[in-house]
Structure 1
């Protein structure tokens, strides 16, 4: 099936173009994350009044909640250019040095998945963030010398899905740290309403609510589901209109059930419930049972199943809850579940 979640796979350029068109361009247009929006607005207003670059910003939280969009908004509202990079692309101190030395005064540098930078680059970034300076080593061994290089003042916006992997010295150099939370259904309905208008799709409130309910609290998933519903309406419906029946038919075709679970989610639950009698079962064993990488199960599938109360993580492994049995329609016996370890 078409994967409608967030995994590390190449994305079609047309999909990226559509996602870009749906992004809000200002904090006023940004839906949800009300507290973070207010904090960012204060930060940017203060920097504007003092005619200086904004403090460095760290955005953490699960994928798809708007970290990249907020970085773009910071640059737009600061009226500064934006430079995009990512942690995996910065694997040597020289990569970072070349990037930093090319920045113009006040430019906003966005580094996605900043926790995946090389350690040598992280150490160079400490000095750059604090003093807008880097030291470049020339030569090797006893004859090596350090040449200081002044940098143009800039604002670093770092994004991470795993803030615990960031070293404390790097985290402490950010002037503002924000954690983005999952969205409530009514907030996702507003996201879908705005996106549907931009895509030219007529959609009643009940249809928007149904997509929101299956979007796992994530705007990116909501927008992707909306695009699949639009495609279904174009092929099987009235073209530019999608009611609740169209939404149900489209999402059923893509194996997205009433709670937003897809084929892989249900495969994991089914393995824990039926093959391992509710658990506990280790991650490696579960990975083999469903034929999927353990990293994908741990980072993509488990967080949502744990959040909705279908799966528990214990010292002995993963266990299914009574709610998971109920969702699969399987009778359960509490005696086989490892609830004492939860």
Structure 2
């Protein structure tokens, strides 16, 4: 491993030996709650739930993890399985499109197994209804035959713990949501928490990064550990290829990948620019805005808008999307007159 002379601003570039990290995501995932950075309230609640289940020699209650992408829902599911000492089965809502798909998974579970279903709100309705009985009574009813001759055969299941993860908890039907014994709402990370994430990741990736560079990356990571780790790797790659380091490497790498000082990327700025330049700051309807930037309206609504609203660059009104004064300042533009669009919400 090589190191530049000034250790206060140096990013140490890895040797070929340290380049043997083959599974980045797996390597960076914490293995227990003590290693997990941030989400203190959720960690304390999960620890209590697991300790109580262990003391009573039973499976932990069903757990629903809700929150935006990249905050650690899958990682927490793996930690619950690890700390409870039970195997983990991973599936996803889009993969369970029939009740038979869910029945096949549930009937093969061993006692105490953890079943993790990502994007659980995207399961088929028939599978959701089967899941109600499975979560409550650990059994399912399988229909054999059709019409008047159809017969319901009850099938007992091994006790298991379901962990559901969702980015849109409002889409879960109330009967399913109520059957979870514990619901955790994950929040966006503060900058100092992301700095801790980056310090841990740099240690695992055999990097040494100065505090000013860590703070710069954390400030552009949109409050999301997954983004912070991804940006760290891009900075590492830039430092390695261009034989540079420190804050200069951070600025150059993130400029190359279109990530500005607030964490806005190309699509974020395209949306803001369209609202400001083409629609005089808004209001503008979602469909019109999506067409103007060449993206699907669902992408704008679920990927771009939440962050722009959270950082105060965009507001949603009954007439459409409106850019704030901060958006005009951030893009260095001057407001001239209000827009007249916004009739296609």
TM-score of Structure 1 vs Structure 2, range by shorter chain: over 0.9
Deviations 1:275-328 (CA, angstroms, capped at 9, x unpaired): 000111111111110011111111110000000010111111101000000001
Contact map agreement 2:279 2:340 (CA 8 A) in 1 = no
How big is the shift at 1:16? 9.0
Name the structure 2 match of 1:244: 247
Q: Which runs of 5+ in 1 are unaligned?
A: 1-13
Aligned CA RMSD, in angstroms, stands at 1.5
For 2:147 and 2:22, the matched residues in 1 are separated by 46
For 1:76 and 1:333, the matched residues in 2 are separated by 58
Question: What is the aligned counterpart of 2:44 among 38, 42, 45?
Answer: 38
Deviations 1:166-199 (CA, angstroms, capped at 9, x unpaired): 0000000000001000000000000000001111
How big is the shift at 1:17? 2.4
Contact map agreement 1:321 1:337 (CA 8 A) in 2 = no
Name the structure 1 match of 2:78: 72
Alignment TM-score, normalising by the size of structure 1: 0.92
1:187-336 residue pairs with structure 2 within 5 A?
187-237=193-243, 242-333=245-336, 336=339
How big is the shift at 1:20? 1.4
Q: Any idea what SS the aligned residue of 2:253 has?
A: helix
How big is the shift at 1:15? 10
Name the structure 1 match of 2:10: none
Name the structure 1 match of 2:151: 145
1:98-113 residue pairs with structure 2 within 5 A?
98-113=104-119
How big is the shift at 1:237? 2.1
Name the structure 2 match of 1:94: 100
Q: Any idea what SS the aligned residue of 1:156 has?
A: strand
Matched, 1:58 2:64: yes
Q: Any idea what SS the aligned residue of 1:110 has?
A: strand
For 2:128 and 2:155, the matched residues in 1 are separated by 17
Question: What is the aligned counterpart of 2:169 among 152, 163, 167?
Answer: 163
Q: Which runs of 5+ in 2 are unaligned?
A: 1-19
For 2:247 and 2:264, the matched residues in 1 are separated by 18
Q: Any idea what SS the aligned residue of 2:23 has?
A: helix
Deviations 1:138-177 (CA, angstroms, capped at 9, x unpaired): 0011110100000000000000000000000000000000
Alignment TM-score, normalising by the size of structure 2: 0.91
Name the structure 2 match of 1:180: 186
Question: What is the aligned counterpart of 1:22 among 28, 46, 50?
Answer: 28
Contact map agreement 2:281 2:338 (CA 8 A) in 1 = no
For 2:291 and 2:22, the matched residues in 1 are separated by 32
For 1:316 and 1:336, the matched residues in 2 are separated by 11
How big is the shift at 1:201? 1.3
Greater RCO, 1 or 2 (C-alpha within 8 Å, sep 6+): 2
How big is the shift at 1:202? 1.2
The aligned length equals 322
Deviations 1:193-231 (CA, angstroms, capped at 9, x unpaired): 000111111100000000000000000000000010111
